[in-house]
Amino acid sequence: MSQTLSSLARMTLRQLRQVASELGVSLYSRKTKEELLSAIGKRQADISSVDAERRPSSASDDDSRVVFLPRDPQWAYVFWEICEADRQQAFKAGASQLCLRVADVTGLNSGDSHPHTLQEVPVDSHATEWYLPVPLSDRDYRVELGYRVSGGGWISLAFSSVARVPALHPSEQILDQFVPFSLDTPPGAISPQTLPSTDNGLHERLYQTATLGSRRLGRGSEAFHELEGGAGAGLNASGAGLWASGRSESGSGVVSPRQRAFWLVADAELIVYGATDPSAKLTIGGEEVPLSSDGTFRIQVPFRDGQQVYAIEAVAADGEQRRNIRLEFERTTPEDNSNPLDQAVAEWF
C-alpha cells in the first residue's frame, strides 16, 4: 500500500488511522494528524527499503506472503500464500516442517527484534491460516513464514508487516482533575487551580448542570449550619450542643474532666466515564467534553446530597449518527456528625 503525502494529507484523521493500522504503525491511535502523516511516510519508506533488500528486482506478484492481524490482546490471526516455486525450492533444500516465527519488535528499527523473544510455532503444511497466541499485549510484533530444515537450519519465505497488539486493560490516561467547588458559588466564578487553563471549569459546570433544579437546603451537616434561629440554634461549630457530653458548660462531672479536640471528614465523588469514536463530538448536559486520542473520556465531579442527572450524547463526525444515554444518581446522608480539623473545638469528656 503506497500513497503520496499529498493524497494522505487530504484524508481525515480516522482514514489516516486506518492506513496506519494496515501499515503496522505503532501507537497510531494516540498520534495527531501531523504525527500520523510523518509516521506513515516513514513506514512506507521502511517497507519499500526492506522489500528491495529481500526481493530481486524481477519479483512478481506470485511471491510468497504472510499477513499478521491482531484480533484481541491475547490472539492474532495469520494467513499466508506460498508460491509453487518457493515451495519446490524449499523441498529441494530439505524442508521438513512449515512454521511461523513471532518476534517482538517493539520500539526497534525494521528487521530487528528483541533477543530471547522469538517464538516458533509449527503449523500444518497444507494450512493457509492460523490463530496464534500472543505472548504479551500492548506490544509490536512481526511474523516470519518459513520451513524448518531436516537436521537443522531455516528457510525464510516471507515477513509480515509489524502490527500492534492492543492492550489488555483500558488506557491509563486520565483527563480528570480535582476541582475545588461550592454549591453556592456561580459556575462562572469557579477558578480551578489544578486544571489546565483550557479546561474552563468543565467539571464544575457539568456538576452544576446535573444538579440544577434538584438542590436542597444543605447537605448533611451543612443543613444545621444553614438554619438560623431554628433547630440548629445552640449548636457549636462541630455541630454538637453544649450539653452533648452530659456535663455542664464548665465540664464538671463525676469523673476527672479531660479536654480534647476531635474531628472527622468524609465525602464522595462521582466518576462518569466511557468511550466513543475518537472523531465524534461528545456532550454531557449540553457541555462539550474533550475525548482522548483513543476516544475515551473520564469526568470526576462532586457527589453531594441530592439528585444529579447526566445526559450524555455522542454525534458522529458527519452529524448523521447519534447515540445517547441518561444517567441519574441520588445521594442522601441520613446522619452527619462530622467536622473538619479547623473547626474542631475542645470538648470535656
66-89: per-residue pLDDT in tens? 999 998 888 899 999 999 999 999
For the residues 222-246, what does the mean pLDDT come to? 40
Please identify, among 15, 38, 54, the residue that sits at the C-terminal boundary of a domain. Answer: 54
Residue 176 in any domain: the answer is no
Q: State the residue for C-alpha cell 503506497.
A: 2
Number of domains in the chain: 3
Interstrand relation of 163-164 and 119-122 (parallel, antiparallel or unpaired):
unpaired
Single residue among 9, 29, 54 that ends a domain in this structure: 54
pLDDT score for 191: 46
Q: What is the pLDDT of residue 129?
A: 93
Q: Is residue 128, in this structure, part of any structural domain at all?
A: yes
End-to-end CA distance of the chain: 81
**Residue 80 pLDDT:** 94
Length of the chain: 349
Shared domain for 156 and 197, answered yes or no, is no
- Residue 283 has a pLDDT of 93
- Whether residues 289 and 200 fall in one domain: yes
Which helix or strand (DSSP H or E) is residue 288 part of?
strand 287-289
Residue 299 lies in a domain: yes
48 and 72 housed in the same domain: no
Same domain? For 205 and 342 the reply is yes
Whether residue 177 is contained in a domain is answered as no
Average pLDDT over residues 248-273: 68
Q: Distance (Å, rounded) from C-alpha 206 to C-alpha 208?
A: 6
Note whether 258 and 146 are same-domain residues: no
Residues 19 and 61 in one domain: no
Is residue 344 one of the residues assigned to a domain? yes
Asked if residue 180 is part of any domain, the answer here is no
Q: Which residue range forms the structural domain that includes residue 197? A: 187-348
Shared domain for 71 and 207, answered yes or no, is no
Going by pLDDT thresholds of 50, 70 and 90, the confidence category of residue 324 is very high
Shared-domain flag, residues 105 and 247: no
In a domain, 172, yes or no: no
Mark whether 110 and 238 lie in a shared domain.
Answer: no
Say which CATH number the domain at 141 has.
2.60.40.10
C-alpha cell at 327: 444517567
User: b/e per residue, 165-196, with b = 16+ CB within 10 A?
Assistant: bbeeeeeeeebbeebebebeeeeeebebeebe
pLDDT score of 145 more than 90: yes
* pTM score, whole prediction: 0.36
pLDDT for 242: 36
How many Å apart are CA 26 and CA 104, to the nearest integer?
12
Please check whether residues 210 and 290 belong to one and the same domain: yes
Say if 181 falls within a structural domain: no
Distance CA 78, CA 69 (A): 6
198: Cα within 13 Å, side-chain hemisphere? 5
Claim to verify: residue 296 and residue 333 sit in the same structural domain: yes
Min mean pLDDT across 53-57, 72-76, 278-282, 304-308 is at 53-57
Same domain, 139 and 205: no
Lowest average pLDDT, out of 114-128, 264-278, 323-337, goes to 114-128
Alpha-carbon distance 309 to 271, whole Å?
Answer: 13
Q: Which of 244, 248, 201 is nearest to 339 (CA)?
A: 244
